[in-house]
Amino acid sequence: MALLEVKNLGISFGGLRAVNAFEVKIEKGQLYGLIGPNGAGKTTIFNLLTGVYKPTEGIIKLDGVDITRKKAIEINKAGIARTFQNIRLFKNLSVLDNVKAGLHNNYSYSTIEGLLRLPRYFKVEKEMNEKAMELLKVFDLDKEAEYKASNLPYGKQRKLEIARALATNPKLLLLDEPAAGMNPNETEELMQTIKFVQKEFEMTILLIEHDMKLVSGICEEVTVLNFGEILCQGETKAVLNDPQVITAYLGE
């Protein structure tokens, strides 16, 4: 059974058909790419998968469970986490607290336990600190744990966003243009990090990306969208060499 199975997904905004008949099957542990020109509908698909938008039609199944009409918070709890095209960190919180914010899905104490600083509060806080530091180490951000998130350089802010998404303990991680605004060295490092997350966390990852080096370097399969429709889908190398894709998208 595929971890993510999407059938006949569509959404219209007024007269605009932003996504039409979108289908995909992503297996557990796969690294999958979603590509296409600006305005093709990629981010809209992420918004549909995460419950930000409700589809006009179609079915979304995560691990066999229909999550199509669930609320965003329920979908996150069911196991889908994401990062955004424009970084959305808690800028004034520390790097550590940003990751801890993601951990609240899985660690909790009651308001009373928190207010009265009961033993459970200290136990849970200690566990959360340890877990958050573990995650920060993975991303080589542990030395900056106490920095304000907004003071991190751009490439590190992007990594922190991924760390925070992983803190929610997802089954599926959605990355929206993770390499946007990065220089080639940062992109290269990010590619290694994404591969590492896939292996180390046995994570299933769906990413939107314009950087073809990144896509061909790490994605096993891709779907190319064009005007909201699937143009081509399958093994990355074959898709990127498809004449239709080259003409419509790569422009070569």
Ligand X SMILES: Nc1ncnc2c1ncn2[C@@H]1O[C@H](COP(=O)(O)OP(=O)(O)OP(=O)(O)O)[C@@H](O)[C@H]1O
Contacting positions for ligand X (CB under 6 A): 13, 16, 18, 36, 38-44, 85
* Nearest C-alpha neighbor of 45 from the set 57, 32, 34: 34
- Residue 24 or 96: the one with the smaller Cβ distance to ligand X is 24
**End-to-end alpha-carbon separation of the chain, Å?**
37
Compute the least distance from the CB of residue 79 to ligand X, in Å. Answer: 23
Alpha-carbon torsion angle 130, 131, 135, 138, nearest 10: 60
- On whether the CB atoms of residues 204 and 30 are closer than 8 A, the answer is yes
Q: How far apart are CA 94 and CA 96, in angstroms?
A: 5
Q: Output the smallest distance, CB 39 to ligand X, in A.
A: 4
Please report how close the Cβ of residue 16 comes to ligand X at its closest, in angstroms: 6
CB of 100 to ligand X, least distance (A): 30
SS3 80: strand
Closest distance to ligand X from the beta carbon of 45 (Å):
7
- Judged by CB, which is closer to ligand X: 39, or 217? 39
- The answer to whether the CB of 74 falls within 8 A of the CB of 38 is no
Name the amino acid, one letter, at 244: Q
- Residue 14 DSSP label: T
- Select 38 or 111, whichever has its Cβ closest to ligand X: 38
Question: Number of helices and strands (H, E) in the chain?
Answer: 10, 10
Rounded Cα gap, residues 162 and 149, in angstroms? 13
Pick the closer one to ligand X by CB: 144 or 161: 161
Choice between 36 and 170, CB closer to ligand X: 36
| Residue (44 or 68) nearer to ligand X, CB | 44
**In whole angstroms, how close is the CB of 68 to ligand X at the nearest point?**
18
Q: Within a 13 Å sphere around the CA of 246, how many CA atoms are in the beta-carbon half? A: 7
